[in-house]
A and B are shown apart, each in its own frame.
Chain A
Amino acid sequence: MTTRTQRPQNNALSPKFTPEESFIIAWNKLLHIVKIHDNSNKLVRHAAKLFILSIAQLSEAQDAFTIEKARLRFYIQKKKVLNRNETTTVIQQLMGFFDAIDVAGFVFSLPETGDRINQAVLFAQLLNQASKKENPANWLRYSIENAGLDWVQLTAKEQHTSGPHGEATRQKARKVYSYAFNSISNVTQRIASKKRIGIRKSIRVVQNMADLVISEEEVLLGLSTIKDYDNYTYAHSVNVSILSMCLGQKIGLSKKALVRLGICGLFHDLGKVDIDINIINKAGKLSDSEFEKIQQHSLNSVRQILKLQASRKMKSQIVLPPFEHHLKYDLSGYPHTNWSKPLSLFGRIITIADVYDALTSARVYRPVAMSQDRALGIMLEGSGRDFDPLLLKWFINMVGVYPVGTLLKLSDGQMGIVMKSSSDEAPTKPRVALLISDKIEGYIKGEEVELTETHPVSGEPLRVPVESYNPAQFGIKAADFLV
């Protein structure tokens, strides 16, 4: 889903709000007011009028427009409606209403015939009634049709498949990942050779990543499942950059801030270049002195960033999060200095991304990587101590209970890779691609199924997850199926 953000502009309904926000506010108000007063009440008529006006405003550029709810956001004509202080409560209320009637979205156009005000009032009344029905979406669809309200339709819930129409995007995403990987690899190698290096290429590639995060977040999240056992640090740096930017986009950071966050993520472990590779790749337990050297890498990252050929302004903007990323939320981590300032927002974001990717990657000292949902479980235990609880919650909401790339054993005996994490309504029921053995040592992708599917007679779920794994345990590269 393409996501673009909007900024408030002047509009007829209120200069404070965008047309999209005005529509949401007018609709929400109408829904509430028809519950209290009868049709002829002035307040009801006025609210209905504003609602119609807001539809008219949005219909100026096109005959009809869509409003859809997906993952804690409204999208109007595929554009994300940003939360702002002035609108967040109303948006949440309307979202709650959408949940109550189990509808993904609507298509609106301006009523052409009849009394528009009356029609708007009737529509609002039907919506309120639907929320009390057993199958509200079906009932609503039927009632709207019966009432002759031809200017509004329910949208069908989205059905995604990884079809060929997404191939260009996936190819582009793979390229961008490669460029980012090469970028951090080049920077690291030049530093190791004691040469100065600029960061222009890194900024270019992170800008490309930011574009993908904004428009094709799911594709990029799929890429973050790429694990490179033999070049762990480079892949890890790119993954942390991607995960951080995705989380930043989720919470509403601006584009420029996303790029800065992405650069911080890409360079957060630059300091490992100063550590003996044998220590980094040691299979057994580290000695005290070895562990101390490892702990120095955050400070080393700062030193290396300072040596980059970049402006003071840029360096000052990217130096703090790499310093902070092992300090922990409660500052009990390392490096052990007299640092007492609370972690920056970016530091807290990168901490989460860093630990998540590390836990879900196979390492020399932990050859069996943790499954993604277990990693989240462990991180949840550290909420408030190691991680900012609010950001962790955003992160969990972003990746879902079973994040993309998780390997699930299903109750029917089949294995499946999570292709799209679950909806808010059914957090433990993602979409999975069933895996079919290729009779050699690998798997090929089978049918994609929704774990929300139920038996038509019994109503029981067709499949439920019984166990989860990191696909690397079975030599499966999740990214092969996702991107």
Chain B
Amino acid sequence: MRKNIRDDRKPALKAKEIADKLMLSLKNYELYPENHVVTQSSVNDFMDKLSDYLEVDESCVFQITKDAYIHDGKVVYRGRASEENPAYQMYRDGIERLAFHQGLTKKEFLQFLQILRHHAVTRSQKESDIVTDLWEADFTCISYQTTDVFWQDENLIDFQAVRVADPVQIRQAKGSKESPEGVSISRVAKDLDMFTLSADEISKTLQMIQEEEARNFDADIFEVLLVILKEQKKEDDFEIVLDIILESFQHTLERAEFSYIILFFDRLSELKESYVQTQSWAIPYIEDFVLTLSSNKAISSLHEAWKHVDLNDTKHLNELRTALTKFSPQAIHALCPMILQVPSLRLQNLLIEAIKDLAKKDAQPLIKLLSHPDDSVAQNVVHILGAVPGQDAIAALQHKFNTSSGRLRFEAAKSLGKIKPLLTEFFFPLVDDSQGAVREYAIKRIGQEKNLLSEEFLIDCIRSGTFKKEDHQRLLSLYKALGGCGSAEALPFLKKQTKKHSVIRRKLYAIHREGAALALGILNVIEGQTTPVS
């Protein structure tokens, strides 16, 4: 019993009302959020009733039985002796008296309700119950008395029967002339200052305590668990340790402690290498574990982490980027959809860069996401794939282009356009593409690189194409592109085009002349530098 509860022999003033309000508050606390008007109203009522009572008596004490609250010998609340009854819940956990004292605040009472509710709902707590939580809460104006309910059936130690030593050995010791082992501290410590602590030592002690209170247990447990993992010889135990590591990992990720994540992956990698020689049976576990760490479930902890990322802290951001690249490429499945959910553009870009790095190790997870049902996710994937080298990425983008429409198709084209040198086989046909945006982009892209093939192709397009009125802009684009990709070889053609005239097709030929002049202008910007394309 941590506070002195007096037996209240004074008349019970409105104790029943207090008990009723307590039950109502608890019930409403279970049904509604804490700040809901109904909850607040019942809590206020309880506080008012209690306050009235405490004007006369400094404590309101209830005795708790398995189904009732009793005050001053009278039952003030009774329910069934079952889990739904708060009296039973308290009785179950060993509380036999409960008291509210003068000075009780609403905050403390709400915290009290929270504890009761928590243990009403989740009875099979592994490590806590109402009493342990009340102890931890250390309320100043709520006290309780407990019974030794957990130990009722246990035998107390018979201290008389306990042996402190073996009697045979004792007899030998009594007869022994050997001097006792060790030297007494009274002789070893030369000066009595040994037995006093200086202000500096006290200050250092305070510092030790502060460091301990600020300790990062997850970082500790990582280190310890990796040591344990290294020493593990049994497969069952291995899995248990990995489970704990996973939980700690998620917790660390939630807190945006990316330096620990980096450290952890590095250590895990070292461990895996060491297992090759010593415990090869453990390697599949480690590999599976790394995949688990890269799963949706584990990485979803990042949603919480974004709140803790300091966008002005370059070091922190770098650690985030590095930590993300330590995951398996499988993490891309979880990371890509996140791009749209991160709270800042800077984080989005960082995430994209990290995904690119992962995809460079293995593009398949990213490629699989091309068929994501959410178009916005697929768009991001298309965008990222453009930066990923390799035939697989190109093939996937082309496939996506061929099987998509609208914006996604266009983005696929743009992504393929990032690849250098120009994918001529892909882009040449697109100059006649039915999708205007694709068409325009393709022509523009062709014109961005000096290329003899492109030059010949464009000239051929211009020569052989039929251009209706609505195609005039396209014609100009073709000329512009020719100016971009062409060489001195194109000059004769262009010069000839500048002299094209026709009475019937006046407008069209005017476009030809304009386009050719435009192309010549682009080429002549570097006149004297125009070199034949090799």
Q: Does B221 contact A (CB under 8 A)?
A: yes
Write the nearest CB–CB distance from A156 to chain B, whole angstroms.
Answer: 24
A-contact bits for B413-445, CB 8 A (1 contact / 0 none): 000000000000000000000000000000000
The answer to whether A72 and B170 touch (CB under 8 A), given A204-B132, A299-B231, is no
Query: Which chain B positions have C-beta within 8 A of A394?
Result: 197, 205
User: Which residues of the other chain, A, contact B189 by a CB distance below 8 angstroms?
Assistant: 380, 396, 401
Chain B residues 118 to 144 lying within 8 A of chain A, measured CB to CB, are 125-129, 131-132, 135-136, 138
Tell whether, in the assembled complex, residue A367 and residue B184 are in contact, meaning their CB atoms are under 8 Å apart. Answer: no
- The A-contacting residues of B in range 154-169, CB under 8 angstroms, are 154-157, 159-160, 162-167, 169
If over half of B's interface residues share one DSSP class (helix, strand or loop), that class is named, otherwise mixed; here it is helix
Q: Would you call A257 and B212 a contact (CB within 8 A)?
A: yes
Q: State the Cβ distance, B115 to closest chain A Cβ, in Å.
A: 14
Which residues of chain A are within 8 angstroms of B166 by Cβ–Cβ distance? 229, 362, 364, 367
Contact A312 B163 (CB under 8 A): no
Query: How many Å from the CB of B138 to the closest CB on chain A?
Result: 7
B55 interface contact, C-beta 8 A: no
Stretch at the interface among A17-25, A107-115, A123-131, A468-476: A468-476
Given A198-B127, A203-B127, A469-B180, decide whether A393 and B157 contact each other with a Cβ distance below 8 A: no
B182 within 8 A of A: yes
Instruction: Tell me if B92 is interfacial: C-beta within 8 Å of chain A.
Output: no
**Contact mask for chain A residues 465-483; partner B; CB cutoff 8 A; 1 contact, 0 none:** 1011101111111011000
Q: Give the distance to chain A from B193, nearest Cβ to Cβ, in Å.
A: 10
8 Å CB interface, A356-393 against B: 359, 362, 364, 367-371, 373-378, 380-381, 390, 393
* B227 interface contact, C-beta 8 A: yes
- Given A252-B209, A299-B227, A320-B224, the answer on whether A312 and B251 have CB atoms closer than 8 Å is yes
Complex Cα spacing A289 to B353, Å: 53
Q: Given A178-B157, A374-B184, A377-B187, A319 and B221 touching (CB < 8 A)?
A: yes
A147 proximity list for chain B (CB < 8 A) = none
Flag if B151 contacts A362 (CB, 8 Å): no
If A211-B2, A310-B127, A380-B188 touch, whether A200 touches B182 (CB-CB below 8 Å) is no
Tell whether, in the assembled complex, residue A230 and residue B182 are in contact, meaning their CB atoms are under 8 Å apart: no
Whether B248 sits at the interface, judged by CB under 8 Å, is yes
CB-CB under 8 A for A393 and B151, given A72-B196, A230-B163, A368-B173: no
A59 at the interface (CB under 8 A from B): no
- Which of A257, A309, A393 has its CB near the most chain B CB atoms (within 10 A)? A393
Q: Which of A179, A182, A200, A475 contacts B164 (CB 8 A)?
A: A475
Q: Which residue of B lies closest to A263 (CB)?
A: B127
Which chain A residue has the least Cβ–Cβ distance from B206?
A85
1/0 contact string of B183-195 vs chain A (CB within 8 Å): 1111111001011
For the complex, give the distance between the alpha carbons of A338 and B267 in Å. Answer: 12
Minimum Cβ distance to chain B for residue A378 (Å): 5
- Interchain CB contact under 8 A, B156 and A178: yes
Given contacts A307-B240, A315-B244, contact A337 B227 (CB under 8 A): yes
In the bound complex, how far is the Cα of B233 from the Cα of A296, in angstroms?
12
A285 within 8 A of B: no
Q: How far is the CB of B394 from chain A (nearest CB, A)?
A: 45
Q: How far is the CA of A243 from the CA of B163 in the complex (A)?
A: 21
Given known contacts A177-B157, A198-B127, A380-B189, is B183 in contact with A374 (CB within 8 Å)?
yes
A346 close to chain B: CB less than 8 A: yes
B313 within 8 A of partner (CB): no
Which B residue sits closest to A314, measured CB to CB? Answer: B127
A424 to B204, CA, bound (A): 21
Nearest chain A CB to B498 CB, angstrom units: 78
Q: Knowing A200-B128, A368-B169, say if A377 contacts B182 (CB, 8 Å).
A: yes
Q: A88-B202, A344-B215, A468-B184 are in contact. Are A316 and B162 (CB under 8 A)?
A: no
* B202 shortest CB reach to chain A, Å: 5
Interfacial residues of chain B within 196-212, with CB under 8 A of chain A in the complex: 196-199, 201-206, 208-209, 211-212
Interface centre among A252, A359, A377 (most CB of B within 10 A): A377
Evaluate whether A311 and B220 lie within 8 angstroms (CB atoms) in the complex, with A299-B227, A302-B228, A367-B169 already known: no
Q: Which residue of B lies closest to A171 (CB)?
A: B156
A411 close to B (CB within 8 Å): no
A367-B166, A396-B195 known; A257 and B173 CB under 8 Å?
no
**Chain A: how many interface residues by the 8 Å CB criterion?**
101
Asked if A204 contacts B212 (CB within 8 A), the reply is no
Contacts A175-B156, A311-B126, A370-B181 given; does A88 touch B199 at CB 8 Å: yes
Q: Which B residues are in CB contact (< 8 Å) with A78?
A: none
Known: A228-B162, A367-B166, A477-B162. A316 touches B209 (CB 8 A): no
Mark contacts of A394-430 with chain B using CB atoms, 8 A cut-off: 1 yes-contact digit, 0 otherwise: 1011000110000000000000000000001001100
Contact A377 B127 (CB under 8 A): no
Contact A174 B159 (CB under 8 A): yes
Contact of B163 among A229, A376, A474 (CB under 8 A): A229
Of A226, A320, A393, the residue contacting B159 (CB under 8 A) is A226
State which of A200, A323, A370, A374 has its C-beta within 8 Å of the C-beta of B126.
A200
A442 CB to nearest B CB, Å: 11
Interface hits, A307-334 → B, CB 8 Å: 307, 309-317, 319-320, 323
Q: How far is the CA of A92 from the CA of B220 in the complex (A)?
A: 35
| B182 in contact with A374 (CB, 8 Å) | yes
Query: Which residues from chain A contact B151 at a C-beta distance below 8 Å?
Result: 175, 178-179, 182, 201
- Docked Cα-Cα span, A126 to B165, in Å, equals 56
A273 within 8 Å of B (CB atoms): no
A321 vs chain B, min Cβ distance (A):
10
A362 touches B227 (CB 8 A): no
Once A179-B154, A316-B218, A345-B209 are accepted as A-B contacts, the answer to whether A427 and B195 lie under 8 Å apart by CB is yes
Q: Are B169 and A377 in contact (CB under 8 A)?
A: no
Contact A319–B224 (Cβ < 8 Å): yes
Chain A nearest CB, measured from B131 CB (Å): 6
Indicate if the CB atoms of B197 and A397 lie closer than 8 Å: yes
Q: In this assembly, does A341 line the interface, its C-beta being within 8 Å of a C-beta of chain B? A: yes
> With A and B bound together, what is the CA distance between A472 and B166 in angstroms?
9
Contact A203 B128 (CB under 8 A): yes
Q: Are B127 and A390 in contact (CB under 8 A)?
A: no
Contacts of A359 in B (CB 8 A): 182
Question: Is A396 a contact partner of B169 (Cβ separation < 8 A)?
Answer: no
Known: A200-B132, A345-B208. A339 touches B227 (CB 8 A): yes
Question: Judging by beta carbons under 8 Å apart, are B164 and A471 in contact?
Answer: yes
A46 at interface, CB cutoff 8 A = no
Interface residue from A85, A177, A198, A401 paired with B195 (Cβ < 8 Å): A401
Query: Is B460 positioned at the interface, with any CB of A under 8 Å from its CB?
Result: no
Contact call A345/B184, Cβ cutoff below 8 A: no
- A253 contacts partner chain B, Cβ-Cβ < 8 Å: yes
Rounded to whole angstroms, the CA-CA distance of A92 and B218 in the bound complex is 37
A–B pairs, 6, beta carbons within 8 Å: A92-B202, A230-B163, A335-B227, A337-B230, A401-B186, A402-B186
Q: Would you list the 3 A-B pairs with minimal beta carbon distance, nearest first?
A: A367-B169, A374-B182, A362-B165
Which residues from chain B sit less than 8 Å from chain A, CB to CB? 2, 125-129, 131-132, 135-136, 138, 148, 150-151, 154-157, 159-160, 162-167, 169-170, 172-174, 176, 180-189, 192, 194-199, 201-206, 208-209, 211-213, 215, 217-218, 220-221, 223-225, 227-228, 230-231, 237, 240-241, 244, 247-248, 251
